[in-house]
């Protein structure tokens, strides 16, 4: 296992557009018995309810969603580049195979929250809200046509960033 140090949020220098949108991240949830991870490139960082938060968008069909829903926490793991394994982890479902082993990744834990040990920056998030988006909420109906024709909607999870870990 690698050694991670707590990192103060005030010292963080990152561009969310490149970090999330171009390098991508892994959303991991579960417990010490069973966990799952998936690639995500939609989401953001900000302030909500007076707290530092991360928000992520997870479709109904994702196996990882079951783990997020069953847990009080989830983690976001970043790599500092677009790691080649993130294509695999974003294409294959953990329902079909043990993806974490398949990617030659290992689980590490902050208390009971799993994260991917091979990353270099990790956000531990405590779930604050879960909002399933529905077609009637969209101002621009084209988005529904483009992204939700099959009804596989996103749930927006807002998580308080309770710990930042850096390797």
What distance lies between CA 31 and its chain's CA centroid?
15
Residue showing tokens 């834990």: 109
Q: How far apart are CA 125 and CA 76, in angstroms?
A: 8
| 73-78/25-30 β-pairing | antiparallel
Q: Which of 12, 92, 133, 144 binds ligand FMN (CB under 6 A)?
A: 92
In the complex, the smallest distance separating the C-beta of residue 163 from ligand FMN, rounded to whole angstroms, is 22
In the complex, the smallest distance separating the C-beta of residue 155 from ligand FMN, rounded to whole angstroms, is 9
- 155 in Cβ contact with 132 (< 8 Å): yes
- Which helix (H) or strand (E) segment holds residue 141: the answer is helix 141-147
Q: Is 93 in the site for ligand FMN (CB under 6 A)?
A: yes
Taking the least distance from each CB to ligand FMN, the nearer of 93 and 162 is: 93
Span 17-76, contacts to ligand FMN by CB under 6 A:
24, 36, 38-42, 57-59, 62-64
In the complex, which residues of this chain contact ligand FMN (CB under 6 A)? 24, 36, 38-42, 57-59, 62-64, 87, 90-95
């Amino acid at each position: 296992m690698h050694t991670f140090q707590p990192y103060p949020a005030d010292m963080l220098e990152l561009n969310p557009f490149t970090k999330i949108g171009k390098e991508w991240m892994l959303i991991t949830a579960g417990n010490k018995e069973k966990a799952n991870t998936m690639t995500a490139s939609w989401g953001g960082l900000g302030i909500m309810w007076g707290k530092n938060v991360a928000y992520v968008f997870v479709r109904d069909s994702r196996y990882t969603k079951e783990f997020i829903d069953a847990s009080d926490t989830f983690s976001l793991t970043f790599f500092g580049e677009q790691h080649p394994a993130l294509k695999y982890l974003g294409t294959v479902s953990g329902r079909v195979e043990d993806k974490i082993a398949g990617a030659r990744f290992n689980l590490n834990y902050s208390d009971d929250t799993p994260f991917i040990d091979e990353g270099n920056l990790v956000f531990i998030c405590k779930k604050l809200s879960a909002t399933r988006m529905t077609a009637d909420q969209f101002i621009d109906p084209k988005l529904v046509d483009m992204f939700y024709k099959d009804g596989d909607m996103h749930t927006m999870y807002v998580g308080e960033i309770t710990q930042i870990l850096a390797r």
